[in-house]
Amino acid sequence: MYLMPIIPKFIIRWVAKRYVAGHDIADAIKVMKRLSSENACFTVDVLGEEISSIEEVSFFEEEYSNLIDQIINHNLDANISLKPTAFGLLIDESEALKKIEKIARKAAKHGMFVRLDMEDHRVTQQTIDLVFSLHQSGLYNVGTVLQARLFRTEKDIVKIQEKLAGKSDIRICKGIYLESSDIAHTSYQDIVDATNSSIDLLLDCRAYTAIASHDIPVIEHSLKALSSRGFIKENLELDEVELDSINWGKGKGPGYEFQMLLGVRGDIRRKLSSQGHRTRIYLPYGKHWYEYSMRRLRENPDVAWHVAKSIVMPWTNRR
């Protein structure tokens, strides 16, 4: 981990090809077309986070508008994810809401879902409040992400479900941001346990549950939780699960789906898909590939190990 900053940028770029679709929309479309043959759907994210001036929002506003057009033009099973701080949430909250609402309305016209990504704890409540405001404006095609490592997450699940009256759509993940032990679980097992508990609560609340995890213990727990609640049949092994045929609308699974990052655990994703589970690939692209890659390398041991392995065994750098 401590060696990450001294790894040459060209090595990071080489490895990043596995986890980032490319620099522009055309690159993202090409990757989605290729992976669509694996029966995957997609959430597309334009890389870029907190901005320093409100003028920078115009890039993201235009890029996401064009992205929606291209997804529709190419008839891809995809939705979009955006980071509120890239739309100026920490600079001018009301202006950020207006810009995000504009994108959400355009997406809604095409029946496309918009995920407000969750960033560090500074904006947790603000991001949730954005979802509330957008739903109040009739934009029910908007949901957010909750990070299970935060102590507050289970309370947030209950509040969101109560506030949105059955229209909540939540992506639950462990959380990539390393938070203080004062507000978050920090050990691996505690985080896994908190993630599993959050998944149980989401399913019990009947929120649409997007299970975003590459951890086998979390995936296996999820399958058992889904089975015990009647979402899937009784068989619990990964290669034996079958789905009930419940229609939850365009682009959705039967109340849940599994999500994985581009280039990570493709074998597990394909296996889940072959058993009938809806699987979604989080697909980032953009010029900020280096910052995104470095954050993944610093905070994800699996990815960091992949870099080391790819240096000595370059043939392993395949999706």
Q: Which pLDDT band holds residue 232 (cuts at 50, 70, 90)?
A: confident
Mean pLDDT of the chain: 86
- Alpha-carbon distances, residue 42 vs 141, 281, 295, 310 (angstroms): 15, 5, 21, 26
Say what the pTM is: 0.86
In single-letter form, the type of residue at position 277 comes to: H
Pick the CATH number of 21-285 from 3.40.50.300, 3.90.850.10, 3.20.20.210, 3.20.20.220: 3.20.20.220
Q: What interhelical angle do 57-73 and 93-109 show, nearest 10?
A: 10
Token reading at 214: 């590459």
Position 289 scores a pLDDT of: 62
Check residue 75 and give left, alpha or beta (phi > 0: left; psi -120 to 50: alpha). Answer: left
Q: Does residue 22 carry a pLDDT above 80?
A: yes
- How many CB atoms neighbour CB 314 within 10 A? 11
Q: Which of 5-14, 19-28, 119-128, 280-289 has the lowest mean pLDDT?
A: 5-14
Question: What is the spatial distance between Cα 285 and Cα 155, in angstroms, rounded to a whole number?
Answer: 33
pLDDT one-digit tens code per residue, 235-272:
445 554 444 444 456 778 889 999 999 988 899 999 99
Domain boundaries, the chain: 21-285
pLDDT in tens, 188-216: 999 999 999 999 999 999 999 999 999 99
For residue 212, the model assigns a pLDDT of 97
Find the mean pLDDT for residues 163-170.
92
Q: How many CA atoms lie within 13 A of 272 on its CB side?
A: 27
Q: How confident is the model over 65-73, as a mean pLDDT? A: 98
CB 95 within 8 A of CB 102: no
DSSP character string of 10-39: HHHHHHHTTT---SSHHHHHHHHHHHGGGT
